C-alpha cells in the first residue's frame, strides 16, 4: 500500500481511504456474503470464491448432506 504524508492529516486519511476502497473493489468477492476477500488465500468451490466464515457455513451444509446413517448390517 502506498503511504502519503502531507501536512494535512485529513487529506491523507481521505486519500488512504479511497485507495483502500479501490483495493477492496479489485479483490474477489465472497459469493455468499458479497464481502471483498482480503486474505491471500480463500476457498474456491463450484466456480466461486468464499471467505473463511462462509466456507464454514458451506462446509457445514455439505457435511450435513453426506452425513448419513450406515446401511443396516445383515445379521
Q: Specify which residues 45 forms β-bridges with.
A: 48
* 32 belongs to the binding site for Zn ion (CB under 5 A): yes
Give the footprint of Zn ion on residues 37-56 (CB under 5 A).
Answer: 51, 54
Between 33 and 59, whose beta carbon lies closer to Zn ion?
33
- Give the interface size with Zn ion as a residue count (CB under 5 A): 5
* 33 belongs to the binding site for Zn ion (CB under 5 A): yes
CB of 19 to Zn ion, least distance (A): 23
Amino acid at each position: 500500500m502506498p503511504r502519503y504524508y502531507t501536512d494535512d492529516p485529513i487529506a491523507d486519511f481521505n486519500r488512504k481511504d479511497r485507495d483502500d476502497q479501490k483495493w477492496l473493489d479489485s479483490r474477489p468477492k465472497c459469493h455468499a456474503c458479497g464481502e471483498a476477500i482480503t486474505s491471500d488465500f480463500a476457498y474456491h468451490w463450484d466456480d466461486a470464491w468464499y471467505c473463511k466464515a462462509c466456507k464454514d457455513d458451506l462446509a457445514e451444509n455439505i457435511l450435513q448432506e453426506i452425513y448419513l446413517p450406515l446401511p443396516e448390517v445383515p445379521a
